[in-house]
Amino acid sequence: MSLLIRGASQIVTPLGTSACRKEALGQLTVLESAVVRCEDGRIVWVGDSTEHDRRFPKADQVLDAQGGCVLPGFVDPHTHPVWAGSREDEFNRRLRGESYMDIARAGGGINATVSATRTASSEALTQKTLNRLDTFLTHGTTTIEAKSGYGLDLPTERKMLEVIRDADAEHCVDLIPTCLAAHEVPLEYRDRPEEFVELLIQEIHPQVAELDLAVAIDAFCEEGVFSLAQTRRILADAASYGWRIHLHADELTPLGGTEVAVEMNALSADHLIHVTDAGIGALAESDTVAILLPGTSFFLRTHYAPARKMIDAGCAIALATDFNPGSSPTESMPTILALACLNLGLTVEEALTAATLNAAAALDRADRLGSIESGKAADLLVLDAPTYHHLVYHHGVNPIRHVVKGGKVVVRDGRIEK
């Protein structure tokens, strides 16, 4: 099956198979009078339309971009898409002055979602997840990293990861499963957190490994959640199974989780609102990608990660939604790009690379995702705008007209193709 995308005002992409840093983060290739040809789910040609017509036969299908800008599909490397219940009441409490941690200590926060998710059926969770994936897709996201973490016990963590597996099989958005059973200390272990760490290591991780339900592990390294020592134990156990590592680090306090992530050769260290100079230096000398989550800072009305300082130091940065019910309830990567430019100080070019190629690198997928190049997956989007700058300039709306996943048009004129 072949697909030809023609009629674009621009085809815009970063290039490469690894994360871009410093000046390279803002360097995009912009092609005009160009086409993209996809065959059997892969890109086989990006370039001059006349030369394409000379080399290739007529395509099975043609997508007219109608003067829109063609970009790589967004890769969202930090999401929590499986959960039940809602926490809009906490949102209003924060508006009245309560802090995120105050609400969590009172039984809200992550544990509130845990309670609802434990009682929800697999069928209900699967349908909720599929609906959320539709929203991701119509906003241009074609691959997500999908975390568990609202179970905090073996039955529910298993249930969540099975929902991720089943949703991945059913939906065209690719889900990369991460076990985040170390998301919080559950209420029943609040006074004995070491016992919960033992439960993770002795029961939850072995079962997840036996059932092959995850490719990576994450943990929330934070004051009042998991200490540096506990985090090291959890991540060392994960590494023994061959899982890759992500880490919630230095979000609320400068605890030093960033350095632990680098020490453990993590794929990513995430949040980093309170990362220290030592943490920035460690990241800059490592392959660990810094995943920044401006949607969380925006929604919680708190500080933003020091993005410019990190970029200037040579850190590889990526952007993600952190989609979750408590601190960033949005599936929209265009929104995240706008926040990154307006509040993190990124240029549009830097934000676009951070949401595509660098985001793919944060998932160890930059060899196949994140740019429009021959041999890579044919995951593409067409903006309802002539240039990529409209992603941020015309903010607060969905700018995506068409989405192509694996060489097939899956969103046409903003609607999912059935």
Mean residue pLDDT across the chain: 96
* Predicted pLDDT of residue 105: 74
- Give the list of residues 6+ apart from residue 315 with CB closer than 8 angstroms, or none: 21, 280, 283, 284, 290
Q: Please say if the pLDDT value at position 125 is more than 90.
A: yes
* Rounded Cα gap, residues 133 and 173, in angstroms: 7
Rounded CA separation 402/411 (Å): 5
Mean pLDDT of 130-156: 98
Query: What is the pLDDT confidence band of residue 341, given thresholds at 50, 70 and 90?
Result: very high
| Beta strands, E only, 105-226 | 141-147, 174-182, 216-221
State how far Cα 173 lies from the chain centre: 12
Closest CA to 5 of 28, 35, 32: 35
Q: How confident is the model at residue 399 (pLDDT cuts 50, 70, 90)?
A: very high
Which band of pLDDT confidence, cut at 50, 70 and 90, is reported for residue 360? very high
Distance from the Cα of residue 241 to its chain's centroid? 23
Q: What is the CATH number of domain 74-361?
A: 3.20.20.140
The whole-number pLDDT of residue 100 equals 72
Burial class of residue 240 in the structure, from the number of CB atoms within 10 Å of its CB (0-12 exposed, 13-18 middle, 19+ buried): exposed
Query: Shortest CA distance to 381 belongs to which of 370, 365, 392?
Result: 370
Q: Is the pLDDT of residue 107 over 90?
A: no
What's the confidence (pLDDT) of residue 93?
83
> What average pLDDT does the segment 314-338 reach?
97
> Would the pLDDT of 104 be above 80?
no
Pairing of strands 400-405, 408-412: antiparallel
> Under 8 Å CB-to-CB from 227, ≥6 apart: which residues?
221
pLDDT digits (tens, 9 = 90+) for 265-288: 999 999 999 999 999 999 999 999
Which strand ranges, in their side-by-side order, compose the sheet holding 2-6?
A: 42-48, 34-39, 2-6, 61-64
What homologous superfamily does CATH list for 2-72+371-416?
Urease, subunit C, domain 1 (2.30.40.10)
Q: Is the pLDDT of residue 236 over 80?
A: yes
Closest CA to 194 of 220, 219, 231: 231
Residue 49 has a pLDDT of: 95
Calculate mean pLDDT across residues 69-81. 98
Nearest to 184 by CA among 263, 255, 105: 105
* Contact predicate 264/282, CB 8 Å: no
Residue ranges covered by each domain of the chain: 2-72+371-416, 74-361
pLDDT at 58 over 90: yes
| Residue range 329-340: mean pLDDT, rounded | 98
Helix (DSSP H) and strand (DSSP E) numbers for the chain = 17, 19
Give the pLDDT confidence score for residue 402 in this predicted structure: 98
pLDDT reading at 418 higher than 80: no
pLDDT at 277: 98
Query: Per-residue confidence at 92, pLDDT binned at 50, 70, 90?
Result: confident
Decide if pLDDT at 103 tops 80: no
Contact 157, 148 (CB under 8 A): yes
Q: How far is CA 130 from CA 60, 134, 290, in A?
A: 29, 6, 28
- Which residue has 């230096």 as its token pair? 281
HSE, CB side, 13 Å, CA atoms: give it for residue 52: 20
Comparing 89 with 377, which gets the higher pLDDT?
A: 377
At 42, the pLDDT band (50, 70, 90 cuts) reads very high
Q: What is the pLDDT of residue 401?
A: 98
